[in-house]
Amino acid sequence: MLIHETKQDQHEMRRIIDQQKHYTGCINDLRGASGGIVTIWDNSKWNLTSTNLHQHWITTILDSRIGNHTVIIYNVYSPNHYREKEICWDDIRASINGEPNSNIIVAGDFNLVLHANEKRGGCFTPNPFRGRMEAIIQDHELVDVVPKNHRYTWSNRRIGIGNIMERLDRFLVNISYLSSFSVGYANVLNTSASDHYPITLTLEMHSPLGLIPFKYNPLWH
């Protein structure tokens, strides 16, 4: 489970996690009165190998107790400020480039829209940082797992012509890792409290999916 904007300090989040049987997690503390990133896993199914806390993301390396594989999860909460976002994406790319394992999932609130069809309402302006994210996708053969049931993950919650919806949150999964599962899909859940919609990623291992086509984006050229 990947959580952003907890608005709870580290001690309170640890108390909440410790109340859940079999679960533990890594916590990136608040910045002032906002922020907070948490990665939580079931320790009856996963062993923690290592973790790295960065200002804008948490890297967690987990060994499966039942599937005999290791996965590297980047839980990203990208900032809005231009300079911070530039540093964030450059640092993420450098970190992933140094990973020896290709079983990588990069997920979270990226705070950018990649394509015009991922926004409804308002004006679409190409984000100057989407090239950085697309370079990561290409370099590490990541598949953007598009939700089956809903296109957008954020809404400004306004009514009528002032309503804007965007796809800001996503799962990027390495193609070879995704191919090792027979089922792999994402769903957007309903929400009532946040302006972001929760997303679930389902990966089930029965028989291999086979080769998943790699999509080439001309913007990478």
Residue 193 forms part of a structural domain: yes
Please give the model's pTM, rounded to 2 decimal places: 0.88
Per DSSP, 90 falls in state H
Residue 43 forms part of a structural domain: no
Residue 127 forms part of a structural domain: yes
Residue 31 forms part of a structural domain: no
Residue 16 forms part of a structural domain: no
Residues with Cβ within 8 Å of 77's Cβ and at least 6 positions away in sequence, in order, are 4, 5, 35, 37, 56, 57, 108, 109
- The domain of 97 spans 78-220
Residue 7 forms part of a structural domain: no
38 CB neighbour count, 10 Å cutoff: 22
CATH number for position 118: 3.60.10.10
- pLDDT string in tens for the chain (221-residue length): 999 888 788 888 889 998 988 899 999 887 766 678 999 999 999 999 999 999 899 999 999 998 788 999 999 999 888 888 899 999 999 999 998 889 999 999 999 999 999 999 998 888 888 888 999 999 999 999 999 889 899 999 898 899 999 999 999 999 999 999 888 999 999 876 788 999 999 998 765 555 555 554 444 44
- Total residue length of the chain: 221
Q: What does the alpha-carbon distance between residue 125 and residue 150 come to, in Å, rounded to a whole number? A: 22
Residue 85 forms part of a structural domain: yes
Number of structural domains in the chain:
1
Q: Which residue has the tokens 């053969």?
A: 141
